């Protein structure tokens, strides 16, 4: 293992998309941002220098940050932001992880343009899932995102002030490009050049703020081998379903001929909620294809293709091989039920007298003004409480009629667990306003998705159907509209770990909470002290 150093200069850059120009916040002037390469067990030193007039933090999404919560990145959870003119070195080791992840800003809505890939190569010699050659050879990075014509900070501020749903993006993008659009001929799309009869590893990342997406390549099947940097039992599909924060590695075996094929990226939304309905396109171009040969098209799934999304997620199983066994906890110390809701709170100054408030177990999370991890490490009182309810405070038919009192509680309330205890959370979707999918992300751990169902979770029956053999292991999971998922993890990483919806609009409305994991008593079981350059609030 070695040390890899990166320099991230946060700077503004004028970028042209959809026939107009706009200044955006970038890393080193790149959009999407630079790729971080590492080999399993490497130490990364990423020096972030803030040259813009926003506070900045960067999160290494899916990196477990064992004992190094100070480098995790969510603003006011594990660190104070890097202020304009300041810098911070994120210092962490990538241990026991390999595959594709992503990094992104974790403050305001800056993730819209501040995001990029993390590629962790396995320790050699490992032939799985395909022989790794040199970095980038026969590998294709595909970062899905959005383009907003307006300033995203204005979009969310309006949504928070008026208490209404925000505007949606103007285009989806593939490696920053929307592809040709009616009315804007200059908008080029990404061209992926391939050779016949080869196998490519596609590393697909959804970095979008607010949309779950479908990814398809005309005339080709994809063999899924990994999600969220964990290996899965390979399966074939023509559509990949991917939520914000998730990553999917798939093998693409090219045909023994020439040709040009359309790649499509389109939204998934199975309720009437407004989404960006545009389809981003790119092309897969075989070497030797004549410029005059036609493009083989692909039909994007309809936006409400719940069955396609469900079929994809139901196909995911841990590889569970001798080399990569599935370590799902069989016994549970903390059994929690979290309702995931979008509700309404009274707001005399809002247009309708109400504002949208999102919550977990009826608690809409209030961001603290200082870092929770700091308060935890130095035992500073009055910043948070550890009385987050482990079960709903009001019980009702979660997926049935909504209760009349929609008001939520507010607070910076955390749930405390002992080191190495095992936690099961049933994430129960509700229809307080409308049933909707929620991609829930846990920092600091991977979890195992042991169960899933529609309607209300039944504690007497549903656990009997849990998969405790080869459940998929990941860091972000979609709670289906009007249904639930059950996840388990072992709390063997001391620190403060954020759990939130990875749809940025829902997080902004309060759909978040955090766990406190206490230090263990043994050696190497406690949170390390903060680095000296840790930003101050
Ligand atoms: Cu990718 Cu807390 O986020």
Task: Find out whether 487 and 447 touch, Cβ atoms under 8 Å.
Answer: yes
Tokens 């939130």 belong to which residue?
500
Task: Find out whether 297 and 279 touch, Cβ atoms under 8 Å.
Answer: no
Residue 185 resides in a domain = yes
Q: What CA–CA distances, in Å, run from 533 to 82, 156, 314, 529?
A: 10, 31, 44, 12
Domain boundary among 322, 349, 369: 322
Q: Is 61 in the pocket of ligand 1 (CB under 6 A)?
A: yes
- 290-317 pLDDT tens trace: 988 999 998 999 999 999 999 999 999 9
Domain boundary among 295, 322, 349: 322
Q: Is 104 in the pocket of ligand 1 (CB under 6 A)?
A: yes
Same domain, 152 and 253: yes
Q: Is 441 in the pocket of ligand 1 (CB under 6 A)?
A: yes
What is the distance in angstroms between the CA of the first residue and the CA of the last residue of the chain?
Answer: 34
Same domain, 5 and 74: yes
The sign one gets for the Cα dihedral 406, 407, 412, 418 is negative
The number of folded domains in the chain is: 3
Residue 536 resides in a domain = no
Same domain, 198 and 258: yes
Residue 532 resides in a domain = no
Same domain, 54 and 79: yes
> Which residue segment(s) compose the domain that 492 sits in?
334-517
Q: What CA–CA distances, in Å, run from 204 to 119, 328, 528?
A: 11, 26, 33
Q: Which of 303, 317, 339 is nearest to 482 (CA)?
A: 339
**Residue 220 CA to chain centroid, in angstroms?**
26
Q: Quick one: 96 exposed, middle or buried, by C-beta within 10 A (0-12, 13-18, 19+)? A: exposed
Q: Is 500 in the pocket of ligand 1 (CB under 6 A)?
A: yes
Q: What CA–CA distances, in Å, run from 125 to 318, 487, 529?
A: 21, 32, 35
Atom from ligand 1 closest to the CA of residue 476: 1
Token couple for 438: 């929620």
- 367-411 pLDDT tens trace: 999 999 999 999 999 999 999 999 998 888 888 877 766 678 889
Same domain, 220 and 111: no
Task: Note the pLDDT of residue 411.
Answer: 94
Atom from ligand 1 closest to the CA of residue 500: 2
* Residue identifier of the C-alpha nearest atom 3 of ligand 1: 61
Residue 368 resides in a domain = yes
Tokens 């998705």 belong to which residue?
449
Burial 510-534 (b: 16+ CB within 10 A, else e): bbbbbbbbbeeeeeeebbbebeeeb
Residue 441 resides in a domain = yes
Q: What CA–CA distances, in Å, run from 261 to 66, 90, 221, 341?
A: 43, 40, 12, 40
Task: Note the pLDDT of residue 134.
Answer: 52
Residue 463 resides in a domain = yes
Residue 537 resides in a domain = no
Same domain, 263 and 369: no
- Ligand 1 centroid to Cα of residue 102, in Å, is 9
Q: Is 245 in the pocket of ligand 1 (CB under 6 A)?
A: yes
- 433-488 pLDDT tens trace: 777 899 999 999 999 999 999 999 999 999 999 999 999 999 999 999 999 999 99
Largest Cα–Cα distance of the chain, in whole Å? 70
* Residue numbers of the chain with a pLDDT score lower than 50: 135-136
Q: Is 498 in the pocket of ligand 1 (CB under 6 A)?
A: yes
Same domain, 421 and 509: yes
Same domain, 155 and 90: no
Atom from ligand 1 closest to the CA of residue 74: 2
- Ligand 1 centroid to Cα of residue 208, in Å, is 12
Domain boundary among 86, 106, 123: 123
Same domain, 66 and 80: yes
Task: Note the pLDDT of residue 485.
Answer: 98
């Amino acid at each position: 293992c070695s040390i890899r150093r990166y320099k991230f200069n946060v700077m503004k850059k004028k970028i042209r998309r959809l026939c107009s120009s706009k200044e955006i916040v970038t890393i080193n002037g790149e959009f999407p941002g630079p790729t971080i390469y590492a080999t399993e067990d490497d130490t990364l030193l990423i020096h972030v220098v803030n040259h813009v007039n926003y506070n900045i933090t960067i999160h290494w999404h899916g990196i477990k940050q064992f004992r190094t919560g100070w480098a995790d990145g969510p603003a006011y959870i594990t660190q104070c932001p890097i202020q304009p003119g300041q810098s911070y070195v994120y210092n962490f080791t990538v241990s026991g992880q390999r595959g594709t992840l992503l990094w992104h800003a974790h403050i305001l809505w800056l993730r819209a343009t501040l995001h990029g890939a993390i590629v962790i190569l396995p320790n050699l010699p490992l032939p799985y899932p395909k022989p790794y050659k040199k970095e980038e050879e026969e590998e294709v990075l595909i970062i899905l995102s959005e383009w907003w014509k307006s300033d995203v900070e204005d979009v969310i501020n309006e949504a928070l002030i008026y208490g209404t749903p925000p505007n949606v993006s103007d285009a989806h993008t593939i490696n920053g490009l929307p592809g040709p659009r009616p009315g804007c001929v200059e908008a080029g799309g990404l061209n992926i050049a391939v050779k016949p009869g080869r196998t490519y590893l596609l590393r697909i990342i959804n970095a979008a703020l607010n949309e779950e997406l479908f990814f398809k390549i005309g005339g080709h099947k994809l063999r899924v081998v990994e999600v969220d940097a964990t290996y899965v039992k390979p399966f074939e599909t023509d559509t990949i379903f991917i939520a914000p924060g998730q990553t999917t590695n798939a093998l693409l075996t090219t045909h023994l001929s020439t040709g040009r094929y359309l790649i499509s990226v389109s939204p998934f939304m199975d309720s009437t909620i407004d989404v960006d309905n545009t389809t981003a396109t790119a092309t897969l171009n075989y070497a030797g294809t004549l410029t005059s040969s036609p493009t083989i098209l692909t039909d994007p799934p309809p936006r409400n293709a719940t069955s396609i999304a469900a079929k994809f997620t139901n196909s995911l199983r841990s590889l569970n091989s001798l080399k990569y066994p599935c370590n799902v906890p069989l016994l549970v110390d903390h059994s929690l039920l979290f309702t995931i809701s979008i509700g309404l709170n009274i707001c005399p100054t809002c247009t309708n007298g109400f504002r949208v408030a999102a919550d977990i177990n009826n608690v809409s999370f209030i961001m603290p003004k200082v870092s929770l991890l700091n308060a935890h490490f130095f035992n500073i009182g009055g910043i948070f409480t550890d009385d987050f309810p482990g079960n709903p405070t009001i019980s009702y038919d979660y997926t049935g009629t909504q209760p009349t009192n929609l008001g939520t509680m507010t607070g910076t309330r955390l749930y405390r667990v002992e080191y190495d205890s095992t936690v099961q959370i049933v994430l129960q979707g509700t229809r307080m306003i409308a049933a909707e999918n929620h991609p829930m992300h846990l920092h600091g751990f991977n979890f195992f998705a042991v169960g899933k169902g529609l309607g209300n979770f039944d504690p007497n029956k549903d656990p009997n159907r849990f998969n405790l053999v080869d459940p998929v292991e990941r860091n972000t999971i979609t709670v289906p509209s009007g249904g639930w998922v059950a996840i388990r993890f072992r709390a063997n990483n001391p620190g403060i770990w954020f759990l939130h919806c990875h749809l940025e609009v829902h997080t902004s409305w309060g759909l978040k909470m955090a766990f406190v994991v206490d230090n263990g008593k043994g050696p190497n079981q406690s949170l390390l002290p903060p680095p000296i350059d840790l930003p101050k609030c």
